[in-house]
Amino acid sequence: MEASVGKEASDLFVGQYNDAAGGVTSVRSNPKKGGDTLLLENDELFGGPLRRVAWCSNGHYLAQRPLFTLDPLFHAGAYYVQEASSMFSEVAMKAIMEDAAWDEGKLRLLDLCAAPGGKSTHILSLLGKDSLLVSNEVIKSRSVVLADNIAKWGSHNVVVSNNDPRDFKSLSEYFNIIFVDAPCSGEGMFRKEPETVNEWSMANVELCAARQRRILQDIWPSLAPGGYLVYSTCTFNHFENDGNLEFLINEMGAEPVDVAGFAGNSEYGNILKTSHGGFQFVPGMVEGEGQFFAIVKKSTLCGEKSRFRIPGMKPSGNLLKKFPYLPLQEYDFELKGDMVKAYPKGLANEIRFLETKLKIVSSGVAAAIQKGRDFIPHADLALSEAFSEMISQGKLPEGINAVEVSRDDALKFLAKEPLVLSGAPLGYILLIYKGVGLGFVKNLGNRTNNLLPMARRIRMSIAK
């Protein structure tokens, strides 16, 4: 560590490790679901006033760590629990947009190693509605967790996939921006996750560095000319950080991109700039855990764009001509088995194309299950940004009523315990907690049918 970040940073880290194991907890609010206002109005949930993470507009340090499992706002996607140093994505995106020569209106982005979803949900908060994110995870079980977290966040301009980096070679020059948060030796998480210490060895460092270079080589052809790659790890050593940045520059022909005024900015603490142009977060120098990131650009002739073209895609023959819960002018609808999928019209063709190239876990919005002539609203619909907008405008679709529930009733719903909504209309009910959509029930009067997927059920005791 001394060889990689210097003796001063190493000594500060060791001091912080011994004096304050575990660090501070931080969260990032969802701007489509109340944003900072909702968190600040409910700061008693977090033990007192929140403090802003300097490099993230929606990031906050908490006074104390609550039991997130028993907070309905957490399950509704109103915020994401994310380590503060990992919130650098906003800094990277701003630097890219300042440097880029192309229009930011319609971008194609890839978060290659995305689970459990921290960077993907952050990126989605920064994107316009006409841009598309592919959020990928190579480990199948982790890709399911990723899809759940993306669904809770509510964005519809995202595809979740379960592919190896080499699978993206069929998408040559497709992406404008690629994030590679590479699997690493985890030195930056020693304080927060002490079990990672037992997994560390020089052999593992060398294995990780080689794997990271393989990942970078595999994904580089998918980056468009003039596109940007953000490389990151949660470790300190040169081999996995600057060594691989040097590999990108010398072997792949990448051009380093600076983030002006970021390193050494007293507002941020003291973020180090590395010898090859990366940025290193070190506990003790910043209020966060260990994180490295660097931005590089793929060389191109000035003004040249990607040669990738989306072929014309015919929708499947079961395209729905009507759907009661979302505006027809904004979405295309298709039946996948008995599942109704909703694609934003401007991205529908692109999403259908990606479905032919990748192993898809989720795409667009899972809107409903068709049962005969009836459409049973899907849990993800309640969490979607489309419904968040309808809730804020007080304009829910015909056939769905809304009921604001208490914390106790919200937890009963999330635990799939019996719930009675006295006086509520019969039929499909959208449960709202503190102004945010939580899920659906079908009200039968003396009882309700809970439409929450069993996999999302709270399994711990909800007793006070």
What residues are labeled active site?
234
Q: Around Cβ 255, how many Cβ atoms within 10 Å? A: 15
For residue 288, give the DSSP letter: S
Place of tokens 């990126």: 123
Short-list 423, 440, 21, 335, CA closest to 197 = 21
Q: What is each CA distance from 351 to 104, 180, 191, in whole angstroms?
A: 19, 21, 40
Rounded distance between C-alpha atoms, residue 70 and residue 301, angstroms: 54
Token pair of 278, please?
Answer: 């990366």
**Cα 389 from Cα 74, distance rounded (Å):** 18
In degrees, rounded to 5, the angle at the alpha carbon of residue 203 between the alpha carbons of residues 169 and 162 is: 30
Residue 386 DSSP class: H
Q: What whole-number distance in Å separates Cα of residue 94 and Cα of residue 114?
A: 20
Helix (H, G, I), strand (E, B) or coil at 87: helix
Largest Cα separation within the chain, whole Å, is: 70
Residues 6 or more apart whose CB falls under 8 angstroms from that of 402 comprise 391, 396, 429, 430, 431, 432
